[in-house]
């Protein structure tokens, strides 16, 4: 009887392991999800509609002054949003992490609330608040000051930048606070001993230590601003401000120009890749914050009377980003006509009755949003933990390449990814255009990196000896994954699930090209209702969505801890 060489026996044992086949299938799905749409996007940019190789699409898309001006306007907008977000986020992070300001817990929760608030609902709220004629703030100024016209106009460049910044500054806060939490007070004490005052210490010691994290977050804010579609569609289009994202959407009007859209997207895609590489290098330098990586003793600074000024600033930011927008949405949702103001004879429950029992389109959009977001979150968490375990434990060949592929969608703006997904799956052989499954595929592709990053950090923190003990007792890799790894990372996985769910409910850029009449989500329906001027129904729909997301977040906080959404891997 012939004996197999050891190498053959090892290979047979390896390929007989069900886990290897499972991870192999996951990698194939990953290639289909990520590589296929991105490669299709690049391919279409270099070909005509009939498949001939050509640079014609680049000449047409980038050879017009209107299109180039749209790109420049987006860059200006990105810079303006980043500056405002820094002014909002950095002081709040310093106040919560380093000072004795009262109400730090409230400030922290208000930032979380601003993150949960969909930016398109924030835009609608600020249209109701600061519209140039009927906006409630303008009407209040007219009544109190006796002037003919209020001073606010949200339909302007700075109005647009302000609204976007209100719902992106939490990212600045998260990065800055996370870095500040690692800075030991001992470093600042040393500066004080040498005669530096509190504000001088903060300016010369504390802030320079966390500057890489602040710049890294600023880069992400800039990229988010130039790639955002929802708020520009609601504010920039009526204000006649042409941006890259609104220009891309114009390529999808009749006649359809997918190739030009792909070509026009390439400069944004390249800029995103370059800036993310820069951000990665900056964040790689943050190890000098503390030698241990865990931070030393931290005591809050006693900043005297300044703490009340900081508290007032924190309250102002919460008022602008959460309290006023939610208040106006709630008032509009209970109004017969939002423009009539707050009056007893103007109150009604008809808007809520309508979206639940009469308007099938709105009810369907709400159900679709919850269903697609839940399905996406479940798929992302399942794929994320499997990919993280397979790559961190080097079960698959080329683990670095697999992890790179899983994280690659971070470098592709949502609107551009949607173009690639449209090109890859809308037509034959898949023909998925307008179907809910394409929305789930799009959301999964876009947000899989969140789950993979969180799961990878968790797997790295686990001691492999626990897994080896199960293997010695005869358990396979799947048993290890389901009985050991997943239970130990329960909080991480719950946090990733809730985070992906919340972000999916806010996502518009990826869904705008891919939804059909039966698969519309709340974000896409918002655009339709706003064009019709049906703000009362829109507000009621928004309030219901915010309530659903708030309940889900509350469950997440109960299961995974208060800071689960602000935890970074």
Q: Do both 40 and 71 map to the same domain?
A: no
Tell whether 5 is covered by a domain.
no
| Per-residue model confidence as pLDDT tens digits over 163-214 | 999 999 998 998 888 888 877 666 666 656 655 666 666 766 677 778 888 8
Find tokens 């009985």 and name the residue.
Answer: 483
Q: Do both 165 and 245 map to the same domain?
A: yes
Tokens of 299: 């005591």
Q: In sequence order, what are the beta bridge partners of 347?
A: 335
| Per-residue model confidence as pLDDT tens digits over 246-304 | 888 888 777 778 888 888 888 888 888 888 888 777 766 544 444 444 445 566 777 78
Tell whether 9 is covered by a domain.
no
Q: Do both 315 and 364 map to the same domain?
A: no
Tell whether 2 is covered by a domain.
no
For residue 207, the enclosing domain spans 67-285+305-337
Q: Do both 332 and 449 map to the same domain?
A: no
Tell whether 417 is covered by a domain.
yes
Q: Do both 358 and 450 map to the same domain?
A: yes
- Residue 445's nearest CA partner among 512, 502, 510 is 510
pLDDT of 366? 92
Q: In sequence order, what are the beta bridge partners of 162?
A: none
How far is the CA of 7 from the CAs of 23, 192, 252, 524, in angstroms? 22, 65, 55, 56
Where is average pLDDT lowest: 73-77, 87-91, 491-495?
Answer: 491-495
- Angstrom distance (rounded) from CA 99 to CA 41: 49
Q: Do both 476 and 510 map to the same domain?
A: yes
Where is average pLDDT lowest: 93-102, 292-301, 339-348?
Answer: 292-301
Where is average pLDDT lowest: 53-57, 248-252, 299-303, 522-526?
Answer: 299-303
pLDDT of 569? 42
**pLDDT average, residue stretch 214-220:** 87
DSSP labels, 98-140: HB--TTHHHHHHHHHHHHHS-HHHHHHHHHHHH-TTT-HHHHH
Tokens of 555: 């469950």
Tell whether 545 is covered by a domain.
yes
- Angstrom distance (rounded) from CA 383 to CA 439: 17
Tell whether 30 is covered by a domain.
yes
pLDDT of 501? 93
Do residues 380 and 445 touch, judged by C-beta distance below 8 A? no
- Please name the residues in contact with 330: beta carbons below 8 A apart, sequence gap of 6 or more: 539, 543
Mean pLDDT of the chain: 83
Q: Do both 475 and 506 map to the same domain?
A: yes
Torsion of CA 288, 292, 293, 294, to 10 degrees: -130
**pLDDT average, residue stretch 352-378:** 91
Q: Do both 144 and 185 map to the same domain?
A: yes
Tell whether 310 is covered by a domain.
yes
Find tokens 């009377």 and name the residue.
Answer: 305
pLDDT of 230? 86
Please tell me which of 48-62, 137-151, 216-230 the model is most confident about, judged by mean pLDDT: 216-230
pLDDT of 475? 66
Tell whether 61 is covered by a domain.
no
- Please name the residues in contact with 391: beta carbons below 8 A apart, sequence gap of 6 or more: 399, 400, 402, 403, 406, 456
**pLDDT average, residue stretch 128-137:** 87
Q: Do both 325 and 374 map to the same domain?
A: no
Burial label, 28 (beta-carbon count in 10 A; 0-12, 13-18, 19+): exposed
Structurally, the chain folds into a number of domains equal to 2
- Please name the residues in contact with 8: beta carbons below 8 A apart, sequence gap of 6 or more: none
Q: Do both 121 and 229 map to the same domain?
A: yes
Q: Do both 131 and 250 map to the same domain?
A: yes
- Angstrom distance (rounded) from CA 528 to CA 533: 9
CATH number at residue 183: 1.10.3720.10
Q: Do both 358 and 330 map to the same domain?
A: no
Q: In sequence order, what are the beta bridge partners of 47?
A: 53
**Cα angle 311-317-320, degrees, rounded to a multiple of 5:** 140
Q: Where are the alpha helices (DSSP H) in 131-284?
A: 136-145, 157-166, 169-180, 185-193, 198-201, 207-227, 230-231, 244-250, 258-284
> Helix or strand or coil: residue 534?
coil
DSSP labels, 36-83: HHHHHHHHHHTB-TTS-B-SHHHHHHHSSHHHHHHHHHHHHHHHHHHH
Specify the higher pLDDT residue, 50 or 371.
Answer: 371
């Amino acid at each position: 009887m012939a004996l197999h060489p050891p190498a053959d026996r090892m290979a047979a044992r390896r390929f007989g392991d069900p886990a290897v086949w499972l991870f192999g299938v996951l990698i194939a799905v990953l290639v289909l999800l990520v590589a296929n749409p991105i490669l299709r996007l690049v391919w279409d940019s270099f070909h005509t509609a009939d498949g001939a190789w050509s640079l014609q699409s680049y000449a047409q898309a980038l050879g017009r002054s209107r299109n180039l001006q749209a790109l420049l306007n987006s860059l200006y907008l990105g810079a303006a949003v980043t500056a405002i977000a820094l002014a909002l986020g950095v002081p709040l992070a310093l106040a919560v992490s380093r000072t004795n300001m009262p109400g730090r817990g409230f400030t922290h929760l208000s930032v979380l609330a601003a993150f949960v608030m969909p930016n398109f609902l924030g835009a609608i709220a600020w249209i109701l608040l600061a519209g140039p004629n009927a906006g409630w703030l303008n009407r209040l100024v007219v009544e109190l000051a006796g002037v003919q016209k209020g001073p606010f106009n949200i339909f302007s460049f700075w109005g647009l930048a302000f609204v976007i910044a209100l719902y992106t500054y939490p990212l600045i806060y998260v990065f800055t606070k996370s870095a500040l939490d690692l800075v030991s007070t001992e470093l600042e004490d040393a500066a004080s001993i040498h005669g530096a005052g509190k504000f001088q210490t903060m300016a010369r010691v504390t802030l320079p230590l966390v500057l890489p994290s602040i710049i890294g977050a600023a880069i992400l804010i800039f990229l988010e601003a130039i790639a955002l579609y929802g708020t520009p569609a609601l504010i920039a289009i009526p204000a006649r401000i042409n941006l890259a994202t609104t220009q891309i959407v114009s390529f999808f009007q009749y006649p359809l120009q997918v190739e030009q859209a792909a070509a026009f997207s390439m400069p944004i895609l390249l800029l995103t890749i370059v800036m993310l590489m820069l951000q990665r290098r900056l964040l790689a330098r943050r190890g000098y914050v503390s030698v241990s990586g865990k931070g030393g003793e931290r005591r809050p600074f006693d900043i005297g009377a300044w703490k009340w000024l900081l508290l007032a600033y924190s309250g102002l930011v919460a008022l602008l980003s959460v309290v006023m927008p939610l208040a106006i949405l709630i008032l509009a949702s209970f109004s017969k006509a939002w423009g009539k103001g707050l009056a007893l004879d103007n109150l009604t429950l008809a808007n809520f009755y309508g979206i639940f029992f009469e308007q099938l389109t709105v009810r369907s959009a709400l159900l679709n949003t919850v269903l697609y977001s839940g399905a996406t979150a479940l798929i992302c968490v399942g794929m994320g933990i499997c990919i993280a375990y397979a790559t961190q434990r080097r079960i698959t060949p080329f683990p670095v390449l697999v992890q790179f592929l899983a994280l690659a969608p971070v470098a592709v703006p949502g609107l551009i990814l949607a173009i690639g997904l449209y090109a890859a799956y809308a037509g034959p052989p898949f023909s998925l255009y307008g179907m809910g499954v394409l929305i789930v595929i799009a959301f999964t592709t876009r947000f899989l990196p969140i789950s993979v990053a969180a799961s990878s950090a968790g797997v790295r923190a686990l001691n492999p000896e626990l897994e080896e003990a199960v293997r010695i007792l005869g358990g396979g890799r799947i048993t290890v994954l389901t009985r050991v790894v997943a239970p130990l990372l329960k909080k991480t996985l719950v946090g990733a699930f809730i985070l992906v769910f919340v972000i999916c409910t806010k996502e518009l850029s990826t869904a705008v090209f891919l939804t059909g009449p039966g698969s519309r989500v709340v974000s896409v329906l918002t655009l339709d209702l706003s064009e019709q001027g049906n703000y009362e129904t829109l507000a009621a729909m928004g309030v219901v969505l915010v309530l659903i997301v708030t309940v889900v977040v509350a469950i997440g906080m109960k299961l995974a801890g208060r800071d689960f959404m602000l935890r970074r891997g």
